[in-house]
Amino acid sequence: MEEIALLKKRQPTKDRTNDITDQQSTKVIDQMPTSCADLSEIGHTLSGLYSVMGNRSVESVYCNFTNSPNDLGFQTWIGHVDVKSSPAYFYVRRNQTFDETRTPIVFDIERLNEGEAYDKTSGIFTAPVTGRYFFTFSGMAAFPVAFFSTRLFFQIGLYKNDEAMAYAIADEVDVYYQDETFSLQSTLELIKGDQISVQIQSMSQSVSLVAGMYTQFNGFLLEEDISQYLQMS
């Protein structure tokens, strides 16, 4: 019995630190992580760059997990992450002159249409996702002969769901078959399914929109609002 007791004394005591650590379960959060604190809570321990969810977009942060969550250097904001679920950018032109008012102008020369959001048969761009978009339109108006100080004008607009968002105008006085250029730009907040078109709002008689490389319509998705896809608590 004395030998057995002596043998037990000589056996090393097992270090239970790792076992205790392994038994510590990480928490589960019912949302995409929004901070380094969330990442730490679900078990991340390696310092580095991480993607987290901001108010409307994915953001990049540096997490220093050697610090306490209350320390100033625990989280460093880096910037926004460009995440797009659907590409959308186009560049189109028109093949023939146009002189109809309040009708979407059809740009039938398609040079670029990534994502197929622009329909060259209807002249309408349909937003594939919710977010911010940028559009630019430039063109040339053709004016006929006008004497006796007559002012001729041409007004064109960018329309969202048939509501004018921006206008551009060209005008001339005492002209003799003269052309005038114009342009407009606009950054718009669109909901998926919103429709964008370019329409002649009004113009003087016999004025028309010049075709070819003088008239072009461009647009692209700047930033997608991806918060709609997430279940945020």
The predicted-structure confidence for 158-169, as pLDDT tens digits, reads as follows: 999 999 999 999
DSSP E strand boundaries for the chain = 48-53, 58-63, 75-80, 89-94, 109-114, 118-119, 124-126, 131-143, 151-160, 163-173, 178-190, 195-203, 208-209, 212-224
Q: Evaluate whether residue 230 is within a structural domain.
A: no
Q: Evaluate whether residue 158 is within a structural domain.
A: yes
* Number of domains making up the chain: 2
Residue 4 has pLDDT above 80, yes or no: no
Residue 148 pLDDT level (bands cut at 50, 70, 90): low
- The pTM of the full predicted model, rounded to 2 decimals, is 0.74
Same domain, 196 and 96: yes
Same domain, 195 and 98: yes
DSSP state of 227: G
- Please count the other Cβ atoms lying within 10 Å of the Cβ belonging to residue 93: 18
Among 23, 56, 80, the domain boundary falls at: 80
pLDDT value of position 26: 58
Q: Are 117 and 88 within 8 A, CB to CB?
A: yes
User: Cα(212)–Cα(157) distance, rounded to whole angstroms?
Assistant: 19
> Could you tell me the residue range of the domain that residue 119 belongs to?
89-225
Q: Evaluate whether residue 232 is within a structural domain.
A: no
Same domain, 96 and 76: no
